[in-house]
Structure 1
């Protein structure tokens, strides 16, 4: 049986982000199929390590197949472990699995050097990498947002040097090193066309990256809603995410303030609810930003409850101010049958095309106008809901993964075994 190790930069038991959630769902689905699968995640850095690890502890075990390593933080420029001893230990840990397939979701907290050494030690294993964002291209945390806050549309040695105050030659060497690391993978994956095109423009050879949307299992769509239910939901908006500057929550709050200041009360009350963030967390980032009366914070939620919670709203708002690739919140909204109001860049624009409404990124007035254009309009809400198609489920993801990532001879052998089981 093929042994598969799924490696992620983080562990969703400790932090809930799109990349690690996609990786963990893949792992759980492989287990449900009876595959010989393992999961290796990491803490993000010293802060999380201090919370969950003892002084000399290097790994947590959630089950005999599910591990979380103590991440010690990484330099986003070099993309390597801070100490060679940490890299040595990590290489030994991953090597001990002797897996046939290593599927990396990201390489933050793992390290470029770790991957190179593991690749050299296991030349017959298949190495796969899902590119969840732009870290290989951009040394500013992979966000392609300039230190000034402006969006960056393409990288160059001179522009990157001006942004990060390093000599241009450093970026020439970094690009060559990142491309060399990516060339060591047998297959590169991207959940969006947007990200694939960015990497090809940067230097990855066309055809090296296959686009497969992250898998998300979901229940059947809810039953038909009455006109009264649609009218009530047409005034209910929600944000699902984390309290980080790039998620654009401040843009949403400013938009809500503009609406309250300019628009008289409506027969359909305006409610904007914030999930995943509490009021204190918001205040730490934006202490001087006053909260409008229509905004309420709901705090953390269980990931498995997200789709059901979303079904109670008319619109989900994703106001991120950076190049999101394939946010899990968009898949969850599709599974819930709830349309979105989204920033008009990156994977957000790609993934909401045809069934969502888009507004100029970072523009609170444009977001306010988008909210007002649908508020209280039950007919428009029903039209957008009817355009939504469900996201790719995990069985569909696995079928695509096997088609793209498995050599033809191995696929044929697996089909033969499956037919014998059926017989």
Structure 2
């Protein structure tokens, strides 16, 4: 197939960028003809450019023209959108419709129904705008604390819901898990066009048979990630914890940890360094307070045979099976998190068995082969008369 991938990169690289790049390489390696049209938020520099971007977020004619030009030159069978916010704008869907090219859109976040895309506000889950008007998102300044910015994002959601952009100009939506799919259905997206396909990771190879010790947290140090819950749980824990990452909560979290000898802040680490840590770790902890979609760090942990201890709210409880390839604890409950870790320390065989199951889960569902098979099926369903070569 001829596949055109469209993606708006953020200024700080994240999981969406990683998935987009990985799928591009996966499709090319399988023999498909793949091109990319990339919009980059690094282009937004200075107040004038930021103001112009904000005004054009609901509909950017320039982005529509750029995509129309790419479609005319490449003649794709499918356009696969990963992110349109904010530079690309939903105008890109009109370009596809005008050229009669089917569209697949991976829903990496909840932007279609939530101003901050997280369904999270003031330290808790928030569904005030789910399937309803996003006016609450404006009143609460949910986009970066800005009234104007929140109004722009809300206007974008309302405009394209009213125009039928989501209902009529996207042939298949990809949700990363069934929990998210249910939320998107509640938001009003057409049930019959939402399919589930998890993220994947190139195989790092079977885990080495070496001693493992300690727990890891890997991710941004921000409120929704729940790292404060993790540190509270670890105050009297006889197990080493390494916290990898940086973010706005770092000073507060370091203060909370105090001089606890079992808590180490590693800061930003390279991918190779993280892979090396996963090879030696017993446990990954994901204490998120929001509805994570499908964190790449969990995929990587499973691939390395590291079971995950995750908060029980949202999709994480579906991604990790309690007592099989990991465990659950009550979201935001430090005492419950500590209870589960103590149980694992008292019964080391649980960690060993879950390590085997973690690697097995990766091999069954999260490999490049599995992802390619799913992607090709989704493209075929979006445009059934196009035959796979």
TM-score, L = length of structure 2? 0.81
Does the CA-based 8 Å contact 1:318-1:343 persist in structure 2? yes
Inter-partner Cα distance in structure 2 for 1:274 and 1:214 = 23
Contact 2:227-2:253 at 8 Å conserved across structures: no
- Equivalent of 2:16, from 16, 19, 31? 19
Alignment partner for residue 322 of structure 1, among 281, 287, 290? 290
Mapped partners of 1:156, 1:404: distance in 2: 26
Partner of 2:147: none
2:118 is matched with 143
1:8 aligns with 2:23: no
Name the counterpart of 1:347: 315
Q: Judge which range, 14-23 or 321-330, deviates more.
A: 14-23
Task: Answer whether contact 1:74 1:108 (CA < 8 A) is retained.
Answer: no
Report the alpha carbon displacement of residue 218 of structure 1 after superposing the two structures with TM: 0.8
Q: Could you tell me how far 1:185 is from its partner in structure 2?
A: 0.9
Instruction: Give the 5 Å matches for 1:53-202.
Output: 81-83=54-56, 87-98=60-71, 99=74, 100=76, 101-122=78-99, 124-139=100-115, 141-146=116-121, 148-153=122-127, 155=129, 161-162=135-136, 164-165=138-139, 174-175=157-158, 177-178=160-161, 180-183=164-167, 184-202=169-187
Question: Relative to structure 1, is the Cα distance of residues 387 and 395 closer, same or farther in structure 2, using a 3 angstrom cutoff?
Answer: closer
Equivalent pair of 1:8/1:42 in contact (CA under 8 Å): yes
Gap change, CA 1:149 and 1:74, over 3 Å in 2: farther
What is the CA-CA distance between 1:156 and the residue it aligns to?
Answer: 5.4
CA gap 1:42/1:398 in 2 versus in 1, 3 angstroms = same
| 387 and 300 in structure 1: CA distance in 2 versus 1, 3 angstrom threshold | same
Residues 1:89 and 1:328: Cα distance change in structure 2 (over 3 Å)? same
Map of 1:297 onto structure 2: 265
Secondary structure, aligned partner of 1:274: strand
Distance 1:39 1:304, change over 3 A: farther
Q: Is the CA contact (8 Å cut-off) linking 2:320 and 2:326 kept in structure 1?
A: yes
Alpha-carbon offset, residue 344 of structure 1: 0.7
TM superposition shift of 1:343: 0.9
Equivalent-residue separation in structure 2 for 1:84 and 1:217 (angstroms):
34
Larger Cα Rg: Structure 1 or Structure 2?
Answer: 1
**What is the CA deviation profile of residues 170-213 of structure 1, one whole-angstrom value per residue up to 9, with x for unaligned ones?**
97994573372222111111110111111112222222111111
The structure 2 residue matched to 1:404, chosen from 375, 378, 382, is 378
The equivalent residue for 1:32 is 29
CA contact under 8 A between 2:123 and 2:289: conserved in structure 1? no
Which 5+ residue runs of structure 1 have no aligned equivalent?
56-71, 261-268, 416-423
Aligned to 2:245: 276
Contact between 2:120 and 2:224, CA under 8 Å: does it hold in 1?
Answer: no
1:247–1:319: 8 Å Cα contact kept in structure 2? yes
CA distance in 1, matches of 2:51, 2:244: 29
Does the residue aligned with 2:125 lie in a helix, a strand or coil? Answer: coil
Q: Does 1:252 align with 2:230?
A: yes
State the Cα distance separating 1:143 from its structure 2 match: 1.2
Residue 120 to residue 387, structure 1, CA distance change in 2 (3 Å): closer
SS in 1 for 2:205: coil
Q: Is the 8 A contact 2:225 2:287 kept in 1?
A: yes
CA offset digits 1:35-73 (Å, max 9, x no partner): 332234444467xx55xxxx8xxxxxxxxxxxxxxxx66
Residue 151 (structure 1) shift:
1.4
* C-alpha deviation, 1:81, in angstroms: 4.8
Q: Does 1:365 align with 2:335?
A: yes
Give the whole-Å Cα distance in 2 for the aligned partners of 1:21 and 1:84: 23
Using the size of structure 1 for normalisation, the TM-score is: 0.75
Deviation at 1:150, TM superposition (A): 2.6
After TM superposition, give the deviation of residue 138 of structure 1 in Å.
1.2
Task: Provide the C-alpha distance between the structure 2 equivalents of 1:246 and 1:198, rounded to a whole number of angstroms.
Answer: 18
Please report how far the alpha carbon of residue 293 of structure 1 lies from its aligned counterpart in structure 2 after TM superposition: 2.3
The 3-state SS of whatever aligns with 2:84 is: coil
Helix, strand or coil at the partner of 1:326: coil
Cα distance, 1:319 vs structure 2: 0.9
- 1:418 aligns to what? none
Which whole-Å CA distance do the structure 2 matches of 1:74 and 1:363 have between them? 41
Structure 1 runs of 4+ with >6 Å offset: 170-173
In the alignment, what sits opposite 1:394?
A: 368
Matched, 1:222 2:223: no
